[in-house]
Amino acid sequence: MSTRSGLVDRHIAFVEALRGAGLSVSLAEDLDAVAVLGALDWTDRDVVREGYAASLVKRQAQRPTFEALFDLYFPRMVGGGVASLDPEAGDTADDEASPVRDNAAALAAFREQLAEALAADDRQRLQQLAAEMVGRFGAMPGRGPGLSSWSAYTALQRVAPSDLVAQVVAGLLAEGLTEEEAQRGAGRRVGAFTAQVEADARRRIAEEKGADHVANVALRPSIERLDFMAARRSDLEEMRREIYPLARRLATRLTKEQHARRRGPLDFRRTVRASMSTGGVPLVTHHRPKRPHRTELVVLCDVSGSVANFAQFTLLLVFALRDQFQKVRAFTFIDQVHEVTPYFTPGADIVDVMSDLAASTTQAALWGRTNYGRALGRFAEEHPDAVGPKTSLLVLGDARSNYSDLNEAVLEELAGTARHAWWLNPEHRRHWGTGDSAAAAYGDIVPMVECRNLTQLAEFVHDLTA
């Protein structure tokens, strides 16, 4: 056996990590990637990254996952990295050579440098500073085996780049930008720098423990697979942006499927008439159109704190697809029922809808403690006309009813009246029936579906309309 460069091993480990993170990389694509690497120069890291991306990542939503993993398996540099050929790297190296690397003076000096670089928006310099920052202020030497010796958190706490925002804003204002623009610009720069620091810490840990370890632990799932209940605020915004494209994709898919099934019985008259132009030979057959059947939908959602996000997304998606239904009505509840259909006027601005919806939450609460039994009872009392034999009933919630009376009889009656009934539960199936969850009791009456992320939600809504 000849000696191996390790590149093939690294490549295979990388592809495995991508698969582990939920990208479906086939063997053919794997081979393509190898062909791509053969066709490219290895002098520019960006070119290699784009080449890999072109052959392995076929869905834009997976790109962030890919980027993070690429940084782990093909790091920009190794160790503290004095690798830069930039003339400015000279003084960085000097700093590192000096005996005292981490004291109050060094911290102050570093912050000054950082403020300068942020003000100038010098990407290259910021990248270097991020690496230096983790190396100098994020090091945690002497910890026990199995614990990582680098921490982005420590580094960020000590340098506190967010305190520099005011300084950067002042600089931008001096350049003649408006207050608002300056605030936004500074926020973006500091945010990007923070992300760089986190990435650099990941890189260093990967060097120490192997990339596979970090890939398993430190990466978040892509936005489509992120749990509603685990989402952070920035994730929620990103998810909200995904709703409309998702609805559009679903609508196209549904129309396509309906078309495919629309070929009705043969229209004999039209076929014969059309055959006249080909001498009586019926080359093209004509069919009668089929009338599509459309469902009426009633959505009943729990909007208490724990599941509010999930309810919002489902409502947005359902209303974005309103053309696919005959009629949609939506009600929110905590322990009181409140109709929210009027907020969703066609063509309404999504941001306004969300704020109206949030404001209306107070009307769905009387005491503010989730009570499914009471809410179901009130719903049947106040809106007896809502559920009829043509409607599909959709209940959204985690079925955690604070140990109150479940009022199963009402739900049974509603489910009996409706054409179909489903319960969407945003919790993982393994949590159902634990604690105050009444998932088991309600699940016996209406089929309960697990719906934790956008992918599952889209699948469910698709099956609902089809």
Partner 1 sequence: MSWFASPTDASARLHEAGYLADGATSTTSYLAGALEKPLLVEGPAGVGKTELAKAVARATGAELVRLQCYEGLDEARALYEWNYKKQLLRIQASEGKEWDATHDDIFTEEFLLTRPLLTAIQRETPTVLLIDEVDKTDVEVEGLLLEVLSDFQVTIPELGTVTATRRPFVVLTSNASRELSEAVKRRCLYLHLDYPDAEREREIVASQVPGLDDRVTAQLVATVARLRELELKKAPSIAESVDWARTLVALEIGDLDAKAIADTLGVILKHRSDHDRAVKELKLAR
Under the rule (CB under 8 A), what is the footprint of partner 1?
A: 24, 26, 28-29, 32, 35-36, 39-41, 46-47, 50-51, 53-55, 57-60, 63, 240-241, 244-245, 248-249, 252-253, 256, 259-260, 278-279, 281, 283, 347-351
Copy the structure tokens of residue 80. 């503290």
Work out the angle at residue 120's Cα, subtended by the Cα atoms of residues 115 and 126, and round it to the nearest 5 degrees: 65
Which CB atom, from 192 or from 441, has the smaller least distance to partner 1? 192
Shortest separation between residue 294's beta carbon and partner 1, angstroms: 20
Shortest separation between residue 88's beta carbon and partner 1, angstroms: 22
Shortest separation between residue 176's beta carbon and partner 1, angstroms: 12
Which CB atom, from 57 or from 215, has the smaller least distance to partner 1? 57
Which CB atom, from 46 or from 94, has the smaller least distance to partner 1? 46
Token pair 């026990």 is found at 144
Which CB atom, from 32 or from 408, has the smaller least distance to partner 1? 32
Shortest separation between residue 46's beta carbon and partner 1, angstroms: 6
Interatomic CA distance for residues 382 and 378, integer angstroms = 6
| Close Cβ partners of 338 (under 8 Å, ≥ 6 residues apart) | 331, 332, 360, 363, 364
Element (H, E) at 423: strand 420-425
Which CB atom, from 191 or from 368, has the smaller least distance to partner 1? 191
Which CB atom, from 313 or from 423, has the smaller least distance to partner 1? 313
Shortest separation between residue 73's beta carbon and partner 1, angstroms: 19
Interatomic CA distance for residues 334 and 401, integer angstroms = 10
Residues 136 and 110 sit within 8 Å (Cβ to Cβ): yes
Interatomic CA distance for residues 351 and 92, integer angstroms = 46
Shortest separation between residue 347's beta carbon and partner 1, angstroms: 5
Residues 114 and 92 sit within 8 Å (Cβ to Cβ): no
At position 180, the amino acid (one-letter code) is E
Shortest separation between residue 57's beta carbon and partner 1, angstroms: 6
Shortest separation between residue 123's beta carbon and partner 1, angstroms: 11
CA dihedral 248, 251, 252, 256 (to 10 degrees): 170
| Close Cβ partners of 257 (under 8 Å, ≥ 6 residues apart) | 466
Element (H, E) at 245: helix 233-260
Shortest separation between residue 52's beta carbon and partner 1, angstroms: 10
Interatomic CA distance for residues 210 and 131, integer angstroms = 19
7 exposure class (CB count in 10 Å sphere: 0-12, 13-18, 19+): exposed
Which CB atom, from 353 or from 376, has the smaller least distance to partner 1? 353
Which CB atom, from 119 or from 414, has the smaller least distance to partner 1? 119
> Cβ atoms within 10 A of the Cβ of 394, count?
25
Q: Write the DSSP string, 330-356.
A: EEEESSSEEE-GGG--TT--HHHHHHH
Which CB atom, from 41 or from 385, has the smaller least distance to partner 1? 41
Which CB atom, from 350 or from 466, has the smaller least distance to partner 1? 350
Which CB atom, from 53 or from 107, has the smaller least distance to partner 1? 53
User: Tell me, what DSSP letter sits at residue 292?
Assistant: P
Shortest separation between residue 267's beta carbon and partner 1, angstroms: 17
Residues 243 and 314 sit within 8 Å (Cβ to Cβ): no
Copy the structure tokens of residue 152. 């982005």
Closest C-alpha to 271, from 252, 248, 287, 293: 287
Closest C-alpha to 190, from 274, 130, 268: 130
At position 157, the amino acid (one-letter code) is Q
Shortest separation between residue 156's beta carbon and partner 1, angstroms: 25
Residues 443 and 406 sit within 8 Å (Cβ to Cβ): no
